[in-house]
Structure 1
C-alpha cells in the first residue's frame, strides 16, 4: 500500500480533514496525519478519532533523539491546507514546525510533494507569497495555487467546505 503524509496548517479547511483522509484511503493510500502545533490545538478534541481513522498517531512535534519513527516511509506528501506562514517558511528553508521541517528535507530526499495553499487575498498580496510559490515550484514541488488550484478569497469570506482537497490527491495519485 502507498503511504501518504497529509500535513495540515491552521486554516479553516482542517475542520474537514477527516473527509480528506477518507477520500485518500478510498484511493488506496495509507494516510499519516501531521499537523502544525497550532493546527493540533484547533483539532485537539478530534485527535483520538483521527488516530483511529488513520491507524497512526497524529504527529505535530519532532521526535526526541533516539525515539523510533512510528510512521512508514512516505511515498508522497500533501501539505493541505498550507498557510502563507508555512509556505513561506518552506520556501526559505526554515523549520519552525515539524511538518515544515519534513517538507524542507523532502526536497533533498526527492519525495513527491504537493502543496495546496489556503490564503486570503490580503495575505496573497504580500510579494513573498508569489516568490515562495516560485521557489517551491522550481524545487520540484507541485504548488496548486492560482487557476486550477487555490484562488485566494476576500478576507473574512472563507469557504472551508469547498476546499479542493481532491486536487492535491489527484497530484499525489499521479506521482506514485
Structure 2
C-alpha cells in the first residue's frame, strides 16, 4: 500500500499493450497509487503476472474467488482499463459480468467510481455499429475515454490484424493524474 492510500484497479484485456503494463504500474505507484492488476482470461496470455505481482505487491487476479475465501485486494478507488478490447467495451455497456474484470467494472459503474478506459479495437471492429453505440454510452455514463494515435511501429499494412495506432500510455497517465484525491473523482 502507498502512503496516499488510493487504490487503483488496473484492468487488462487481451491485447499486446497488456505486455507493457509494468511501466504504467511503476508510474501509478510513483504517483501514490496502490495498484492491483485484474486481467481478463484472454489478457493472461499477454502479460507477465509474476512481474506484475512483484511490482504491485498483490496477486494478479483473473477469476472470481471461491465462496468464503477472503478478498486479497483492497477496495478500489478508481479504475484504468488498458487495453479495453471490443469485447469488453460492448459487454460493459450490456451489463455482462461473466469475468471478474467485467464484474468489477460493472460494480464500479454502479457505485460511481472513476473509470478511465483506453479502447483498442482493430479498425474493422471500431467500425461496427455496436462499438460506436457503446463508446457513446460509456461517455454519457462519465467514463473517461482515451484513444490512441497513428504511429505505432508494431502495426501497419505489413501485419494484418494489427493497426498502425500508438497505445496512449502518456494520455492515460495524464488523465489519471487529473483525478481528484480519494473517491472525489467519481463520475
Query: TM-score band (shorter)?
Result: 0.7 to 0.9
Which residue of structure 2 lines up, in the alignment, with residue 14 of structure 1?
Answer: 18
Over the residues paired in the alignment, what is the CA RMSD in angstroms?
Answer: 1.9
Deviations 1:67-89, CA, capped at 9 Å, x for gaps:
11111121110011000000000
> Do the aligned partners of 2:16 and 2:46 also contact (CA within 8 Å) in 1?
no
The higher radius of gyration belongs to 2
Counterpart Cα distance in 2 of 1:97 and 1:65: 15
Q: Deviations over 1:93-114 (max 9, x none)?
A: 1112111111111111111111
Higher RCO by CA contacts (8 Å cutoff, separation 6 or greater) = 1
Note the residue ranges of structure 2 that are not aligned, 5 or more in a row.
Answer: 181-187
- In structure 1, runs of 5+ residues without a counterpart are none
- Give the 4+ runs in structure 1 shifted more than 6 A: none
Report if aligned partners of 2:149, 2:167 keep a CA contact under 8 Å in 1: no
- For 2:117 and 2:80, locate their aligned partners in 1 and report how far apart those are by CA, in whole Å: 6
TM-score of the superposed pair, with normalisation by structure 1 = 0.88
Residue number among 121, 135, 138 corresponding to 1:136 in the alignment? 138
**Of residues 123, 126, 134 in structure 2, which corresponds to 1:124?**
126
TM-score, structure 2 length as denominator? 0.83
Count of residue correspondences: 169
- Structure 1 counterpart of 2:172: 168
